[in-house]
Chains A and B, each alone.
Chain A
Amino acid sequence: MDNFDKMLFEMAEREPADAPNRLKQRVRSALRDLPERSRYRMGRTARAALCGLAAAAVLAGTALAVFSAGGFKSVEFWTGESLDGEEFNWYGLEGGEYRRVPVEELSDRVRKLAEKNPVTDTTEYFRTEGWSAAEKFSGVTLPENAAIDDLEMSQSWMTVGSNEYGPTALTFWQGTDRLGVTVTARVYTDLMGERDISVKRGVSSELELTAEEYVSPGGLSALVVHLQSGEGAERTERYTADLLVDGFRYHIKVRVNGTEIETPRQALDTLHAILDGFAV
């Protein structure tokens, strides 16, 4: 280390780079809004901790209902605290017929991304090209859906999740600003083994949550959740659907007051049209 190097270290120590005060609030908000964590990814200790958290939430709050929908083995609702101590409404999607795509069927590009970033997810952005570009990139063919194909998507991306052995999951996302619709499809690889996959979603209890099963004319089941809060200009309202299609887990969100979706009825009709669009 020469004198100039020493001087740089000393200067850096004298003038530490500050983080803005609002960062603390941002981190608290991020911790509060942690949406889901699939148990299959956790180590034993962390998994036990989350199971404990869920159990504590059920004990502290109210178990509301358990039923089957969307192709999941069971769907459970309960109220309880988030990590940040805020009252939340939770629902869990347990098990189901998930597909495990053989890693060797994925493209070289996906495998290289996983190899390059074995610790974190890696995202590729396709702008407005939609899922056709993501399918070409990944080597994975998504279930056909004419209604999704007809949406004028504003942006799309694909994320490769991985561990030290290779890609473990692919997430495809696309959204349309015009309608306030987003569609996410997630599929796992055979590196995940055959363990049941469990998903937990939580929303602030300020949002009123109601849920029902929707069955498309083709016989496809989906869990449809309606969330709303506030009045007038403060009103927030959206419909979501969770379902398994050909082993892919879909999460579809339609926002009321999207640019061209102004009423709850329009939002629900849009959601139903997308669900009906799956070729089953």
Chain B
Amino acid sequence: MKADSAEFERMVTEYAPVMYRAALAVTGSEAAAEDAVGDAVLRAWQKLGSLRDVSSARAWLVKIAVNCARGQLRRGRETSLEELAEELPAPEPGQARELRDAVARLAPEKRAVVTLYYYEGFSTAEIAGMLGVRRGTVKSRLARAREDLRILLEG
């Protein structure tokens, strides 16, 4: 089933939080993530004809949000990924970490796949489509992220 204007408004409203979290994982910046969601709503509206079935709207909207988040970074409105990673506070030795804190310390490309996989429940194939990389790349990033998380969480 395709989406009409009312359906578009409903699905954007419903999926805005997951779009935001995906954008935040890419940018590491709340302001840039909000801007990305704003941009994504516009682009999704312009591209609505390419959404073949509303049942795939969630993944479709997240993919657009991820692309817009990358656009935010390219536009130079925010600091670079490397700088963001360096800005994060260092973990305090011996202190147990919740997952969210640990994820925030991952490198950006690992942070994105972990957010989409563990928090949002997307498959590795769906994540590959969203990020424009091969499924094997998603799997290897997840594997490396798990190792990092194991160190961060278990010490």
Which positions in A face B, CB cutoff 8 Å?
Answer: 4-5, 8-9, 11-12, 15-20, 22-24, 26-27, 29-31, 33-35, 37-38, 41-43, 45-50, 53, 83, 116-117, 119-123, 125, 157, 161, 163-164
Contacts and interface: CB of A to CB of B under 8 A. Distances in A.
B63 A45 contact: no
Contacts of B17: 18-19, 23
Given A12-B119, A43-B2, A31 B9 contact: yes
Given A8-B118, A12-B118, A116-B132, 14 more contacts: A11-B98, A17-B119, A19-B17, A20-B34, A23-B34, A24-B13, A30-B12, A35-B42, A42-B48, A43-B2, A43-B50, A117-B67, A120-B64, A121-B47
9 contacts: A19-B17, A19-B20, A23-B20, A31-B12, A45-B2, A49-B4, A120-B67, A121-B67, A163-B50
Given A19-B17, A123-B71, A125-B74, A34 B64 contact: no
Contacts of B47: 41, 119-121
Interface string B1-34: 0111110010011001100110010000010001
Contacts of B67: 117, 120-122
Q: Which 4 A-B pairs have the closest CB atoms?
A: A49-B4, A30-B41, A42-B49, A19-B17
Given A4-B146, A8-B118, A26 B34 contact: yes
Given A46-B3, A46-B48, A119-B50, A27 B60 contact: no
Of residues B49, B115, B118, which shows the largest number of chain A Cβ atoms within 10 Å of its Cβ? B49
Interface string B49-70: 1100000000010011001100
Task: Give the interface size bracket for B toward A.
Answer: 35 or more
A30 to B, nearest CB: 4
A16 B118 CA distance: 10
Contacts of B106: none
B99 interface: yes
A151 B49 CA distance: 37
Contact of A26 (B5, B38, B48, B60): B38
Contacts of B60: 119
B1 to A, nearest CB: 9
Contacts of A22: 34
A53 B100 CA distance: 43
Of residues B13, B48, B115, which shows the largest number of chain A Cβ atoms within 10 Å of its Cβ? B48
Nearest to A122: B67
B123 to A, nearest CB: 13
Given A17-B115, A117-B132, A38 B46 contact: yes
Interface of B: 2-6, 9, 12-13, 16-17, 20-21, 24, 30, 34, 37-38, 41-43, 45-50, 60, 63-64, 67-68, 71, 74-76, 98-100, 115, 118-119, 132, 146, 149-150
A158 to B, nearest CB: 12
A31 B67 CA distance: 19
Of residues B2, B30, B47, which shows the largest number of chain A Cβ atoms within 10 Å of its Cβ? B47
B46 A11 contact: no
B37 A26 contact: yes
A14 B17 CA distance: 17
Contacts of A41: 46-50
Contacts of A20: 20, 30, 34
A119 B34 contact: no
A75 to B, nearest CB: 21
A157 to B, nearest CB: 8
A11 B5 CA distance: 37
B146 to A, nearest CB: 7
Nearest to B38: A30
B34 to A, nearest CB: 5
Nearest to A127: B76
B42 A8 contact: no
B41 A8 contact: no
B27 to A, nearest CB: 14
